[in-house]
Amino acid sequence: MAKMKAAMAAVLVMEKEGITQAFGVPGAAINPLYAQLRERQTISHVLARHVEGASHMAEGYTRAKAGNIGVCIGTSGPAGTDMVTGLYSASADSIPILCITGQAPRARLHKEDFQAVDITSIVKPVTKWSTTVLEPAQVPRAFQQAFHLMRSGRPGPVLIDLPFDVMMAEIEFDIDTYSPLPVYKPAATRAQIDKALDMLAEAERPLIVAGGGIINADASELLVEFAELTGIPVIPTLMGWGTIPDDHPLMAGMCGLQTSHRYGNATMLASDFVLGIGNRWANRHTGSPEVYCKGRKFIHVDIEPTQIGRVFAPDYGIVSDAKAALELFVQAARERAAQRKLPERSAWAAECQDRKRDIQYLRKTNYDSVPMKPQRVYQCMNNAFGKDVTYVSTIGLSQIAAAQFLHVYGPRQWINCGQAGPLGWTVPAALGVRAADPSRKIVALSGDYDFQFMLEELAVGAQFKLPYLHIVVNNSYLGLIRQSQRGFGMDYCVQLAFDNINTPADEAVRSYGVDHIKVVEGLGCKAIRVHRQEEIAPALRQAEAWMEEYRVPVVVEVLLEQITNIAMGTEIDNVVEFEELAANKSDVPTAIAAAMLD
């Protein structure tokens, strides 16, 4: 067998497991691994400006394409603690990423050595597995186990911590005979699928709730086929947005307290049966189970056994990978269709479609005011981008409004950290998506505060030629928190506006505080600011030209009115509409059903 440093064995295993890209920040304690990466030259590396940024880049890389696993690398101590947010975000959304940290030599671990911290204990709650490898000969098997665990069952992140002397030690290892471990995913049985279809057959107004597990399993085509075979309308969750195209006749809208459509909530309330696949009944989708579950039965299909019954007890539960279940659902539905044993659902589907194009269920977007209302910005985005665009966003009023007004037409075209929602996620995640797919049309969307959290990562896009378009809707507020503070009768510590002494007094942006254009340009990227809707289309054309010419991220900042309350509520039957509803077609020219409105 070949003799090599344990760090080299780690690199060779990653190669065999299909890794070609990593994101990270070198440091003294992880330099042995970087030395082997340099020697092999098989894994490209993007140098982040912050280790948390590297972890979010790894997330974006994984989320961009089925089968990807993002890798982020950092040194000992604070590098690992910086990655905790990325690990939490990945764990919450079932996203496999591999975090590798350096560590003090084994003999120094108990001596409070410089930057020596028990990182495996710190990250245990937000990983599928975390380990400090204490024996050099175990390094290749630790990496083998990591990839096996990340891909098996419910996907999720892993952290491997490597002491300096462990990486430097020589071991015997034969990479030529190495093979990845078989992946385990639970699968539904045909008997379970037949029982589920029998229960569905008794329903009059059934719905499918399509979760992010369908996208993780690369099963969106199967979901659409099953919906079409059965005629059952689909409600995607926020993480499942794109499993069925927004303009599909069976796409019934999204349900929830914030990122939802009025017609989606109305359809959920009108249903009598829900088949949830690859979803976790997140509270911002359901509200209280008392309201969400009243008057309807539930089947829950999920890859993780402990998710079934976690939020509420379904009438029937199936532990299965979404793709394995949908393959059987499609097979069984085809057989029943051939035997004419599937119930007729056309009237119910038409009722759901009628709600989708009913003007009373549509929110107005066509405003002409200056400063702009955010609704008009999303209308302009719908006009500007085709069906092949991929949106990247995280949290805040900007993201909530995006889910209410934008359109998504395919899986992995809405890339969003759903449960964790860390501010600052959008910039590095978008860079990770770009690294995964050099040709994709990527539009990131941030409010000003999300943008300010990790905007230093734009320098990474400039250095490594990772162009994408970033739209910043700037109201100079922590908008979502300001809106939630209304219940406390306050507007406290959420204002980002200040009089910027470096901005001319006659410029409208002076009172908004941070001059994002100057900052972006200082980081080596291009930026343009717009004040009114007629400026947006030319700005987007200029951004496209700059990306083509310079191959760097381009920011388009849109100055908004500072106070806009976006629709949200405490229950799916109690969503408060703060702004105008549509009165006619001219109020909603880019709504999905606008072409069908009288």
Distance of CA 523 to the CA centre of its chain: 25
pLDDT recorded at residue 431: 98
466 pLDDT above the threshold of 70: yes
Q: What pLDDT was estimated at residue 498?
A: 87
Contact 199, 297 (CB under 8 A): yes
> In terms of DSSP H, where are the helices of 177-300?
190-201, 212-216, 220-230, 262-270, 283-286, 289-293
In tens, the pLDDT along 535-578 reads 999 999 999 999 999 999 999 999 999 888 999 999 999 999 99
Tokens of 146: 């990591």
Yes or no: say if 375 and 365 are a contact pair by the CB < 8 Å rule: yes
pLDDT of residue 596: 64
pLDDT, mean over the chain: 94
Of residues 68 and 563, which shows the higher confidence score? 68
pLDDT of residue 507: 76
- Structural element, H or E, at residue 505: none
More confident residue, 50 or 596: 50
pLDDT at 321 over 80: yes
Q: Which of 105-114, 257-266, 355-364 has the lowest mean pLDDT?
A: 105-114
Which is it for the CA torsion 390, 394, 397, 403, positive or negative? positive
The pLDDT of residue 26: 97
Q: Distance between the two ends of the chain, CA-based, in angstroms?
A: 75
In DSSP terms, 32 is beta-bridged to: none
pLDDT exceeds 60 at position 598: no
For the cut 80, the answer to whether the pLDDT of residue 505 exceeds it is: no
Q: Which has the higher per-residue pLDDT, 51 or 513?
A: 51
CB-based contact 285:238 (threshold 8 Å): yes
Q: What is the rounded distance in angstroms from the CA atom of residue 451 to the CA atom of residue 444?
A: 10
The three-state DSSP-derived secondary structure of 15-49 is HHCCCCEEEECCCHHHHHHHHHHHHHCCCEEEECC
Indicate whether 478 pLDDT > 90: no
Rounded to whole angstroms, the Cα distance separating 292 from 417 reads 23
How many C-beta neighbours within 10 Å does residue 517 have? 16
Residue 122 burial (10 A CB sphere; 0-12, 13-18, 19+): middle
43 and 11 in contact (C-beta within 8 Å)?
A: yes
Catalytic residue IDs: 25, 51, 423, 478, 481
Does residue 154 register a pLDDT over 60?
yes
Give the residue-averaged pLDDT of 470-497. Answer: 90
Domains of the chain: 3-177 (3.40.50.970), 190-360 (3.40.50.1220), 364-566 (3.40.50.970)
pLDDT at residue 508 greater than cutoff 80:
no
DSSP label at 456? G
CA atoms 389, 395, 397, 403: torsion sign: positive
Is the per-residue pLDDT at 1 higher than 80?
A: no
For the ranges 10-24, 286-300, 397-411, 477-491, the lowest mean pLDDT is seen at 477-491
Q: What are the φ and ψ backbone dihedral angles of 273, each rounded to 5 degrees? A: -160, 135
Task: List pLDDT tens digits, range 262-316.
Answer: 999 999 999 999 999 999 999 999 999 999 999 999 999 999 999 999 999 999 9
258: pLDDT strictly greater than 90: yes
Rounded CA separation 29/4 (Å): 19
Q: In whole angstroms, what separates CA 448 from the centre of its chain?
A: 19
Beta strand segments in 333-395, E: 390-393
Count H helices, E strands: the chain?
Answer: 24, 21
- Predicted confidence (pLDDT) at residue 114 exceeds the cutoff of 80: no
Q: What number is the average pLDDT over the span 145-168?
A: 97
Tens digit of each residue's pLDDT (9 = 90 or more) over 205-251 = 999 999 999 999 999 999 999 999 999 999 999 999 999 999 999 99
